[in-house]
Structure 1
Amino acid sequence: MVDMRFARSRIGVGGRVLGGALTLAALVTTSAVFADGGDALERHARTSIGQVNQTTRGIALVRTATDRFGDGDTIVRFAQTHHGLPVIGRGAVARISKAGVTLRADAKVESDLPVTTLPTIMADAAARTAERWSRGSASAADAHLVVWPLRGGGSRLAYAVLPKVPAGIPSAPRVIVDAETGDVLEARDLIRFARAFTYPANPTSTPTPDLLPIALTPGAKLTSDFIDSNNCIDNKTVRPVNMYGFNAKVHVCDMLQTATANSTDDFVYPPVDDGSPAARSDTFSEVSMYYHASRAYDFFRKLSGVADAQVVEDKPLRLVANLQIPSGLQSGNFAQAADPDRALEPFSNAFFSPASGGLGEIFAQIYGVTGGGLWFGQGPNRDYSYDGDVVYHEFTHAVVDKTLKLEAWHIDARGVIDAPGAMNEGLADYFSSALAKDPNVGEYASKDLAAGLDAIRKLDNQDKCPANVSGEVHADSTLFSGALWEARMSLAEDDRMKFDAALYKSMRENAGSGDLGYDDLGKLFLGTLATDLPAGKTALETALTNRGVLPSCERIFEYTDHPISPIDKSLGGFAAPGAQTVGLSGLAPGLIQVHAKITGKPAKVTLQFDAFEGQGSASPFGNATPFTPVVLAKFGQAITWSVKGGKASHDADATAPVDSTIGGASFDIPDGATDVWLQVANKGESDGAYARLTVAFVPQPASAPATTEPATTSTTSTTTTTDDGGCGCVTVGGSSRSSRNSFGLAALLGVMATIAGLARRRRAS
């Protein structure tokens, strides 16, 4: 007999939230249910999911993973398909205890599916379209039919095109092309860049090398069943590459294994990280990278309680040390980039390139597209593979890719937010620091960025929403990672590893969608902690609430009499992603809102700001409309956004384009209005940014001359204001300053321009 106990709650279905659905609080069965093994477990999980969400009936769900934990819990995950095609980001999950109790079941499925799976656009045409949006070449074999859910419900038959990029080029493009219209639904580079992170075994904190045991024992070379280590060696190889539809040749390094075990099966090589030519191919880098990656693998296995667990998508996971890039690539000099006699240039970063284009296990099962890896640069002053935190951080990105599959942007009631990407960075920071037992990240490799930089990010902080939100994922990660670290450190030492394990288990409980806000993932964590570590739930809930993450990250800045800019001056401005970046058609919502009190009886309210052109990854070769800021205004309450069928809508009272004569937009104030909320949205497909938001009120003509005066308010601002400080921007409709990021070919081909923006030193608490 099966004893079912239900509770009322709200379950997300097809991108929508349905009130009054039944959630399975506990489905109790006997161990006999599992007597015939995995098939019975799968049936049990399907039954649990069906009881929770009856819309899954008739939906094709394919089991993609069964994760077992040391405490006896089992998580069974499913991905949705439609006539054999993967429905990206949709699926279901059930967590079942050792006793057979269903502790949690959830599903996010799409019911509004394409009528036909026969494309109008052929695969080769989709591949040609994708080439214009990427640094890689693509053929029909790289275009894979999928069902692509739209934000707000509905879906399209589409091609997921994964252009090929030569090894040594830091790019992992994915372009989604509508299989009926040929439109580009999304274009993203899936590279996960990061900064250096410290831990006791790096040249700064532990300057004396030691012979240490390797967690995953290799053979004669640094290869095991789960990780494979390589060195980026310059053998003067030249390979063809297609960048944004243009064919070229580039000089790249070759992936070789240079480390060999000695007579005692040890890998012993001297460190060489002095900026010399020898440092660009030293074998110590390969050994260091393998050691730290194997330690990270062992760490997550211990969190799962399964000694031989595969914790990342790839088996083995490829690791590459000493990455350097073609000379001239940054400046767009193709002749120089193709010259094998020119030395490769330093690469001051590290990144994770996901398997299967970041589309999940079902995509890999159907198409066999794999090939994720961790890449570590050889910078001019520091080798990134020497720093254990860098390796741990990038490894965690691979773990997130297998579990949460976080996307880049999320849309909530207040607009767009980079929470998925920021939480990806925050989790990578958090687990790196948990492994290292140190909240400061990047002591060693940070010196590659600036000699006086003692760390790249610090988890021991008090960062909050909205003050620390800017739209840059690394900068926006610290309010989330800081909350996790704060909660962890408030626990007894014996409970901290349990806290880490509960978070990791939560990540594996995700039903399939990576479109999550800060609050969504926070609540997922709290649900697991409630059963596994109640003290941890209390600590994390308190930290998330105090930092403005719960109940939601509202992102409303109170205006006083100072211009509003990101709290970190180096960021320049708030991000304004284009419709192409966030996967919408039409208007892309803004990131933040500005609230101002209306005193007296002014006639108009004006929002002025500086705008930055040419931000983001959209190609400017005529393939995307430029950043086009528009201003929204609402009186009486905050602007609310909603999404349906891939289009965003809002309830603002008025929308206005930018008036070049005032560098902003002006709105009539209705009688009796006491408050106004203003937001900058983006009507273009390309990304942009804005800063120095200033609110001014224009008096009634009858009471005073038409002058502009600042607004006043009794509310204390939660932002840090900055002056222009030579940030380099284009004032909307005003005089031109130096552009923050030009539209030149260098900006397209130079990944270093992007990298430079990622090195953000976070404030100490």
Structure 2
Amino acid sequence: MSWRPITLVAVLCLALTAPGTAAADDPPPEVEQRAGTRAPAEVHGLSEPAQAGDPVAAAKAHLADPRYHLDPADLAPLRTVVDGADETVRFAQRHQGVPVFGAHYLVHFRKDGDRREVVGAGGRFLTELTVSTTPTVTGKTAARIAHTTMIRDHRSREGVTAQDAGLVVVPGGAGQLAWHVVLTGRDAVAKKPLLLDAYVDAHSGRPLFAVDRLRMEGPVTGSGQTAHGRTVELNAYERADGAYELRDRTRPMWDGTDGEILTYDAAGRTFFDFFTPGIPEGTELVRSATPVFGPEHTETGAVDAHWSAGQVYAYYRGLGRDGLDGQGGTMYSVVNVTADGEPYTNAFWDGTKMVYGGGGDYHSFAAALDVVGHEMTHGVITHSADLVYIGQSGAINEGLADYFGNAIQVDTYGIPMSDPNASLLGETLCKTAPPEECAGRDLGDGRVAGEDYLGFAVGYDNGGVHYNSTIFSGALWDVRETLGGAVTDRLVYKALTEYMTPLDDFVDGRRAVESAARALGMSARDKLTVARAFDRHGIRPGWERALRTDSRVLIDGITDRLARPDVAGDRYVISNTSPDALSPSVILTGRIGGGKPVRLSEGERWNSVPVTDGRRAAWTSFDAAQEHYQVHVRPLDRSSPPELVFDAPSLVDSVAIDGDTIVWDGVGADGEHGVWVKRGSAAPVEVTAEAAVHGFSPSLKGGRLAYERYWTEDGALRSAPAVVDLRTGAETVIPMPAGSWTVKPTLTGRHLVWMYDADDDGRYGIMRAAPDGTRRAVVVQDGPQAPRPNWFDANDEVATLGLWPDGSGNEVSNAILPKIHQVPLGGGTPQRYSCNRGYQDYFASGEGRTVVWLDGTDGNTDLVTRDRPAPRCRTGS
């Protein structure tokens, strides 16, 4: 699933009727409208008097004009930016006192002594919001829902905590009240930190989306003496006991109590300890017995981090900004973190501080000034436009961090823009690899939106925020190469702080830069340079046109983040919601052969994870009023209404159906994850009732149940497929070597098929057995060359896998995204199934070689199908 950004559908040029001071022959002001709201996206070309004194009051007075169609009482001031004679006031929208996600509105003034005039206004204000701000679901329940549904891998859930952080209104139509839930922990599979801002519908309990708070780099290339042998001056602090600390109080932002640059030593503690805002108790400032910080401080990255933070401060001070928050707030860095004692080759900004790792083949990630500048720029973005870290707005966020990070480095070191390494990000982090191989990104890669935009699902890289960033930052870098750094840096900074808003897409971002160019009074020639740079990178209205595909569309526009299809015979089932993703999700069924899908679910509840046996469908829903999870069953022909077969507070994760037998897995009253079976009208029975036994991913066929069985043996966690004969109750646990992991055992009728990872390296082989677990055979051998799947299904003939490709390196193209492959159950090499170039996500096997899947190729997520593998695909598709 990919996030579909809000876009303008019309641009109108209208003469404003309000009185102004412009001469009669001046061009009229221009108004650009935004779909779904009466408040203009932008009004520019104004020259109207404004009241003196407090700029916030002056801005609210201006916005009271009827042409803006908004109530200034719904605006909460965030900050005021002063750039010479220019003054910009930024507001955040409130609906009945609740913050509106991503809705910022700005007013632009120009001052001449005590005289102030309005020269423009705009942003994002939603005038059509009517949603009730009284929640039905509690914050505690929302946290539990987010924890279960938004952490895809169940092994990672064990180490993740969920905490509600208040209510917000998600924009779109009448709006959607949501709980903001913070998910904190670690990704057990990728072995990296996890810090998500998740949002759950406060009326229905439906998960909406999640935003990654960690702005990470790498792995990319990352002095006192710096890691690269440069002797630098460090602003330190001599303590009363004679020791010296990396504490810089020499900057203009120091007010006697706040406004320092501080660098702390994590002393090898794991990155997980540094997720909470601020500096954890027990973490000490980097310290030396003399004012010379020695080799140990070079090795940990402390010298680089402290010196570089000072360079970042000085750069933004040159643009008129006092620190990352614009208010002279203290800048914090932490160096020398590890991944549970192992090298942590990354760095991140967590919203309050910088955290740096390093080791192995890499210097400390603080050893690359462009990386330091990049990550700290995320702090500037947070305290200005606060671009949402999803899809195109997230790619602009990353792109601006790329741009300013590289700008800081080339200006500080005096690197000419013509240097081939000037456009590389993180090229100096590697200890041995050359710059072009070490760099994480290249702002000079020439990528074009319509040709090179990657169709990521929102669950991966937050919709391609890193992979798509150079489309936008590349255009800005092209402008810098032509117009120079002084002009372009001021232009881009003004666009970020005075014109961009949180949910901007690429076209919105271009408009913001062009608006800033007009406000700066740039020449027609220079404005043409800006326009041509965006044109070269394909950023123009309407660039998101459909691309060629080899699949047939069953449903155009799947907007439910949790959508996952299932297939039996010629019938499919799937969940979906409204185009704006604001309505409760419904269960749909249709025929693979074609025709319009019909709705199976009833009511206004959140419904999800439907399955079918070809005659009936089963799915889960959430009763927000009672905070109960439910399982429903209904014939596909809708000959009878939905039947409620389970209703309890216990969380349900997934279901399976075969005839009158229903199976589901979830969290029981004891807090453990198990599997339950319900046959006909009998009460549900837990098949994982044995102490410390957990069950996941049930599959049902022919009177047998298969599931992933997890248990502890000799102090170690074990995993194996288990098969239960539902007629006799006998259970067979298929022997698997200790230390191996099994995933998604699937009953097909003639076979039991599952994936296995024998060495915990993220690569999986495939095994099959008879339905009773006997006669095991290897279909695809695990090992160093085994596939890396993102999803799996099987039928009696083939196993279908979504595979991450090998050998992509630093390549940035749709070729790095998972693609569907198939392999006969008799064995062989998995072969490509569809040549669609975008992300091919959740899928289900039909009869023969038919597959139904979620595809992001044409700019949004569609439910599509094919009935045979593609004969060959072009390179790069």
Give the TM-score normalised by structure 1: 0.60
Q: Which amino acid aligns with 1:407?
A: V
Per the alignment, residue 496 of structure 2 pairs with: 507
Candidates 113, 117, 129, aligned match of 2:145: 129
Per the alignment, residue 363 of structure 1 pairs with: none
Per the alignment, residue 538 of structure 1 pairs with: 528
SS, match of residue 347 in structure 1: strand
Per the alignment, residue 705 of structure 1 pairs with: none
Is this contact kept in 2: 1:312–1:401, CA < 8 A? no
Aligned length: 542
Candidates 291, 303, 316, aligned match of 1:300: 316
CA distance in 2, matches of 1:296, 1:391: 8
Candidates 108, 120, 125, aligned match of 1:95: 108
SS, match of residue 385 in structure 1: helix
Per the alignment, residue 195 of structure 2 pairs with: 172
RCO (CA 8 Å, sep 6+): is it higher in 1 or 2?
1
CA distance in 1, matches of 2:271, 2:481: 49
Moved more, 440-449 or 89-98: 440-449
C-alpha deviation, 1:447, in angstroms: 5.3
Per the alignment, residue 463 of structure 1 pairs with: 447
Is this contact kept in 1: 2:224–2:232, CA < 8 A? no
CA distance in 1, matches of 2:168, 2:434: 45
Q: Which amino acid aligns with 2:447?
A: D
Q: 1:394 to 1:241 in 2, by over 3 A?
A: closer
Per the alignment, residue 212 of structure 1 pairs with: 233
1:451-600 matches, within 5 Å, as 453-470=437-454, 471=456, 472-491=464-483, 493=484, 496-510=485-499, 513-532=501-520, 533-534=522-523, 535-557=525-547, 587-588=558-559
The answer to whether 1:49 aligns with 2:63 is yes
Q: 1:59 to 1:642 in 2, by over 3 A?
A: farther
Q: Which amino acid aligns with 2:437?
A: L
SS, match of residue 521 in structure 1: helix
C-alpha deviation, 1:734, in angstroms: 7.4
- 1:235-287, Cα deviation, whole Å (9 max, x unpaired): 69998999xxxxxxxxx998623523665xx45221677xxxxx5xx3xx123
CA distance in 2, matches of 1:388, 1:394: 10
CA distance in 2, matches of 1:422, 1:642: 25
Candidates 249, 258, 269, aligned match of 2:294: 269
Per the alignment, residue 393 of structure 1 pairs with: 374
Is this contact kept in 1: 2:349–2:355, CA < 8 A? yes
Q: Which amino acid aligns with 1:387?
A: A
Is this contact kept in 2: 1:80–1:109, CA < 8 A? yes
Per the alignment, residue 178 of structure 2 pairs with: 158
CA distance in 2, matches of 1:378, 1:181: 44
SS, match of residue 337 in structure 2: strand
Gap regions ≥5 residues in structure 1: 243-251, 274-278, 327-343, 355-371, 410-417, 565-575, 580-584, 590-617, 619-623, 630-640, 650-654, 660-664, 668-681, 692-719, 744-765
Q: 1:380 to 1:44 in 2, by over 3 A?
A: same
CA distance in 2, matches of 1:497, 1:240: 36
Per the alignment, residue 670 of structure 1 pairs with: none
The answer to whether 1:257 aligns with 2:280 is no
Per the alignment, residue 146 of structure 1 pairs with: 167
C-alpha deviation, 1:169, in angstroms: 6.8
CA distance in 2, matches of 1:241, 1:96: 39
Is this contact kept in 1: 2:186–2:194, CA < 8 A? no
CA distance in 1, matches of 2:477, 2:499: 21
Is this contact kept in 1: 2:271–2:337, CA < 8 A? no
Per the alignment, residue 319 of structure 1 pairs with: 333
Is this contact kept in 1: 2:224–2:293, CA < 8 A? no
Question: Percent identity among equivalent residues?
Answer: 22
- 1:521-578, Cα deviation, whole Å (9 max, x unpaired): 011101111231335422111111122112343354468xxx99xxxxxxxxxxx9xx
CA distance in 2, matches of 1:299, 1:174: 30
Give the TM-score normalised by structure 2: 0.53
CA distance in 2, matches of 1:722, 1:92: 35
Say which structure is richer in strand: 2
Candidates 384, 407, 431, aligned match of 2:404: 431
Q: 1:452 to 1:46 in 2, by over 3 A?
A: closer
Candidates 63, 75, 88, aligned match of 1:61: 75
How well do the aligned residues superpose, as a CA RMSD in angstroms? 5.0
Is this contact kept in 2: 1:231–1:256, CA < 8 A? yes
Q: 1:378 to 1:538 in 2, by over 3 A?
A: same
Gap regions ≥5 residues in structure 2: 1-17, 23-27, 152-156, 249-258, 411-421, 457-463, 568-576, 596-608, 612-652, 655-787, 792-810, 833-838, 843-877
CA distance in 2, matches of 1:642, 1:299: 45
CA distance in 1, matches of 2:471, 2:302: 34
1:183-202 matches, within 5 Å, as 183-195=206-218
The answer to whether 1:374 aligns with 2:354 is yes
CA distance in 1, matches of 2:183, 2:496: 29
1:402-441 matches, within 5 Å, as 402-409=383-390, 418-437=391-410, 438-441=422-425
C-alpha deviation, 1:490, in angstroms: 0.8
CA distance in 2, matches of 1:737, 1:530: 55
C-alpha deviation, 1:115, in angstroms: 5.2
Per the alignment, residue 762 of structure 1 pairs with: none
Is this contact kept in 2: 1:233–1:254, CA < 8 A? no
C-alpha deviation, 1:404, in angstroms: 2.2
Q: 1:309 to 1:440 in 2, by over 3 A?
A: closer
Q: 1:374 to 1:182 in 2, by over 3 A?
A: same
- 1:337-371, Cα deviation, whole Å (9 max, x unpaired): xxxxxxx12112222222xxxxxxxxxxxxxxxxx
CA distance in 1, matches of 2:536, 2:99: 40
CA distance in 1, matches of 2:237, 2:311: 11
CA distance in 2, matches of 1:59, 1:350: 41
Is this contact kept in 2: 1:92–1:108, CA < 8 A? yes
Candidates 198, 205, 226, aligned match of 1:182: 205
Q: 1:10 to 1:452 in 2, by over 3 A?
A: closer
Candidates 826, 830, 833, aligned match of 1:737: 830
CA distance in 2, matches of 1:483, 1:238: 36
C-alpha deviation, 1:310, in angstroms: 4.9
SS, match of residue 490 in structure 2: helix
Q: Which amino acid aligns with 1:399?
A: V
Q: Which amino acid aligns with 1:10?
A: E
Say which structure is richer in helix: 1
1:605-624 matches, within 5 Å, as 624=562
1:688-727 matches, within 5 Å, as none
The answer to whether 1:85 aligns with 2:112 is no
- 1:42-63, Cα deviation, whole Å (9 max, x unpaired): 2221233333843212651111
Is this contact kept in 1: 2:271–2:339, CA < 8 A? no
Work out which of the two has the higher radius of gyration on C-alpha atoms and give 1 or 2.
2
CA distance in 2, matches of 1:516, 1:448: 39
CA distance in 2, matches of 1:218, 1:196: 36
